[in-house]
Structure 1
Amino acid sequence: MIIIENCAIATVDTAGTEYASGHVVVDGNRIVAVGAGPAPVPAGEGARRVRHVDGTGCLATPGLVNTHHHLYQWITRGLATDATLFEWLTELYPVWARIDAADVHAAARAGLGWLALSGCTTSTDHHYVFPDGAGDVLAAEIEAARSIGLRFHPTRGSMDRGRSDGGLPPDEVVEDIDTILAATEAAIDTYHDPSPEAMLRIGIAPCSPFSVSDRLLAEARQLATRRGVMLHTHLAETTDEEEFCQATHGCTPVEYLDSLGWLGEDVWLAHCVHLSDGAVKRLGATGTGVAHCPSSNARLGAGLAPAADLLEAGVPVGLGVDGAASQESGLLAEELRQALYVARLRGGPTALRARQALAMGTIGGARCIGRQAELGSLEAGKLADIALWRLDGLGHADITDPVAALVLGPPAPLELLTVNGGVVVSGGELRTASHTELAASARAAHRGLMARDPEHPEHTHQGRTS
């Protein structure tokens, strides 16, 4: 049993309940009590196995949910830093074509460890590059998540439309449809846990409209419906994608997915930057979720996603850091502030409030991945995924409102992070892995990957190491 006391609490429940000083009680992997003032005194056997956490100077929130990532990209950061999305992909596809399972394991452990230190308790991942001879890269990232201790929703991604078929990726990084579908179903058979307490669930994620065929999208939809798993893809990220869809399919990206049965409560889409008013309403009407990735969209100059409009239309909106190669910071907590900034750049100072940003990072993300009944708010009966943020240091102590301090202030250190009732971070330190070892392994994987192509620009750009 864990009892957290004397902290401010933002429950992010439907009523927006908050406590200036309160308690959260965890028994096993479930929250059993949340309220004002001191916690009830445990009796009997429970009293002998209590871990007391003094939360004075802290804010307790639900753990953050990362709704879009590409963990393998952690070891390819800092490349094509001044490129558009299509330019960036063109430079990086050949690099990613050389990854193997060991690379992915090192990258995923580093990325997930970093996410944990930024308050993330659940992360998705969209892995869509499966080079020949690379080994089982999906298994590699699943094992990485187990070692770090985060709740994990990886998606078996795919690309079947290479340049020779009018797509963007080079032919050497695409797969044929039969291979994709067989591997996807095998991943569901092997790993997917549909239980309410699941630490691991599998989704299906063809990459994007410019890298997959109509047939793959249609058959992925059929497989997801048959197996009862979620669907995910990139959509409407750039004007280049809009132009591609108009030229290739004669419609917008949202209309294209809609024509293939790809809108619904079992679907969440990454980015959705360039949407018409009609598209926003259609996503709301169908309950289709959106993973808002403000820092990545800014880094690539893709645009300002209409997150406030999506929320107004009833769309489930979560936050994502996106792949570390297009968003080198990788701190999920920072996306709370970036989401607020983007909304206000579009719509002014009242377009999005701090508490709405926190809700996107917690219950909004849980809605995107179909876990709102178990995750995303601090309520009795929900799974014990909790972040306790220290707000009494120099960077936050004089900010009156603790939620505003978390969202608008500098990154807050974590006093405690629990996932499924287990401690992953305490006292600002990752407890499930060595921070130093994660960094060393990721650096070694990066060097090994880049060394496989001595002609790559990293070896000639001033200030970079190989």
Structure 2
Amino acid sequence: MAGRKKRAGNPSPGPSGGPGAPSPTLLVRGGWILSMAPGGFQGHGDILVREGRIQEIGPDLPRPPGASLLDASGAAVLPGLVQAHLHLCQTLFRGLAEEMELLPWLQTRILPLEAAHDEKSIAASARLALTELLLSGTTAVQTMETVHHTQVVLEVLEEAGVTAVTGGCLIDQGEGTPPSMILPAGRALEAQLSLAREWNGKRSGRVEAALCPRFALSCSEGLLRECAAASREKGLRLHTHAAENKEEIRKVREITGLSDIAFLDGAGILGPATSLAHCVHVSPEDRARLRDRGVHVVTCPSANLKLASGIAPAAEYLDQGINLALGADGAPCNNRLDPWRETRLLSLLQKVLAGPAALPPGKALETATLGGARALGREKEIGALEKGKRADMVVVDLEAPWLGPGGSPETRLVFAAGPAEVRHLVLGGKTVVRDGKFLLWDPAEAAARAREELKKLLSRAKLPS
């Protein structure tokens, strides 16, 4: 495959180039660097990494004795991509919930399938998702999992080495929700707070627990208020869905007399620690609320198209000063977790809404990197290639026939690149993809385990055909 060819003269990984501990020293040599930092380095050069952090960026850096080398010639080097809205627990359900809008999709397929998860199936689902995500260049995620077994997802995220903000979804009501997923507000919240006490600031520090009320129709106002208070008191991030589907919005207004956004705002949910996924149908008044509260909007173009939800006004959000991030959502509403496809669609769909100059490639890449890092509250650590930041980076081949011969690196990446062009991936100085080969675990084994666990889950779920 053109995007994954072995390059002549590539050194062998050596003892510090494989999937073990981070290399003490790593030199990424000879790529076109897109730092994504305002005023940061852009051009041909090298990146020197020591102890998992970027030490220097520039042209013709000397190779320190004993340093591992990654060949980036003919490739772009950019920060690892950040996906700020995902459901790892849904990856087993790929292809099992087709041709439906949001509410029947949730009520007749997704929620019953989530309710049938056990620890083994959710681990297999998360591992399969992370295999796809890492091979496609994603190094940081914000995810919302199902009600139970969230500890298992945290463990898999920690093993993979990604930066992650995650939580089990909070549900205390909702039409069509399996009874096992509905928990009293206090019990549901305490389960997530317990995870935060165990994980936040502990272990590697890369993985943290957040509060994830599912969406307005599945949460009482009391639960939302308790989440908002806990977020403020304990410094926890909030992650929920809002304004995705017209019928959802109609039902929220019927019950509360308010729009999704106004209802969440009244409960105290909106703020600078909050990410709202989708925001497809948002009035000018509610957009002002999002801006004034400092909310992060996470757009999911493929999922919004597949569920016939609509097209989010992403370019307008950016024009109004609202931070925008990107996510593939879940496998059963996409069906890929491919950040390149989402970045391409983001830019193209905004051109339909706002004209051919709307959301140019550089801005789309910023959404997929620094915008996502801001949504996770990790912009001081990730999202740009700068001295002192965590060495999360993706090396993307620019020499495939469909990527050239002309055009800026940004244009080539956004409109023509895909997972096949990911040559190397580095997580905190540790090479986890080299020449397209995944080094953390066996991808075929992960896929086989997922197939095995799906059979058992479907037997438990007993869904009508």
Q: Structure 2 length as normaliser, TM-score?
A: 0.91
Q: Which residue of 2 aligns with 1:28?
A: 51
Shift of 1:453: 4.5
CA contact (8 A) 2:224 2:268 kept: no
Give per-residue Cα distances to partners, 1:372-421, cap 9 Å, x unaligned.
11110011111111111111122224242221111100415222111111
Q: Does 1:50 align with 2:67?
A: yes
CA contact (8 A) 1:284 1:314 kept: yes
Q: Which residue of 1 aligns with 2:166?
A: 154
Q: What is the 5 A alignment of 1:204-243? A: 204-243=211-250
SS at match of 1:67: strand
Q: Which residue of 2 aligns with 1:288?
A: 295
Choose from 98, 113, 121 the match for 2:131: 113
Letter in 1 for 2:187: T
C-alpha separation in 2, matches of 1:25 and 1:410? 25
Q: Unpaired segments of 5 or more residues in structure 1? A: 131-136, 458-466
SS at match of 2:333: coil
Q: Does 1:375 align with 2:382?
A: yes
CA contact (8 A) 1:280 1:309 kept: no
C-alpha separation in 1, matches of 2:361 and 2:27? 27
Choose from 136, 150, 175 the match for 1:138: 150
- The structure with higher relative contact order (CA 8 Å, sep 6+) is 2
Q: How many residues are aligned here?
A: 439
- CA separation of 1:312 and 1:455: change in aligned 2, threshold 3 A: closer
C-alpha separation in 1, matches of 2:319 and 2:39? 17
Q: Does 1:7 align with 2:31?
A: yes
Q: Which residue of 2 aligns with 1:428?
A: 436
Q: Which residue of 2 aligns with 1:66?
A: 83
Shift of 1:30: 0.8
Shift of 1:358: 0.3
C-alpha separation in 1, matches of 2:292 and 2:375? 15
Give per-residue Cα distances to partners, 1:139-175, cap 9 Å, x unaligned.
2112222332322211232110133xxxx52433211
Q: Which residue of 2 aligns with 1:263?
A: 270
SS at match of 1:142: helix
Shift of 1:281: 2.2
Letter in 1 for 2:201: D
Q: What is the 5 A alignment of 1:13-412? A: 13-15=37-39, 17-19=41-43, 21-35=44-58, 37-39=59-61, 41=62, 47-92=64-109, 93-130=111-148, 137-163=149-175, 168-193=176-201, 198-411=205-418, 412=420
SS at match of 2:340: helix
Between 9-18 and 235-244, the greater mean CA deviation after superposition: 9-18
Between 326-335 and 63-72, the greater mean CA deviation after superposition: 326-335
Letter in 2 for 1:282: R
Give per-residue Cα distances to partners, 1:40-62, cap 9 Å, x unaligned.
x25xxxx3330122211100011
SS at match of 2:455: helix
SS at match of 1:169: coil
Q: Unpaired segments of 5 or more residues in structure 2? A: 1-24
SS at match of 1:395: helix
CA contact (8 A) 2:49 2:391 kept: yes
C-alpha separation in 2, matches of 1:260 and 1:95? 30
SS at match of 2:449: helix
CA contact (8 A) 2:40 2:386 kept: no
Q: Structure 1 length as normaliser, TM-score?
A: 0.91
What is the root-mean-square deviation of aligned Cα atoms in Å? 1.6
SS at match of 1:13: coil
Choose from 388, 412, 416 the match for 2:424: 416
C-alpha separation in 1, matches of 2:384 and 2:346? 19
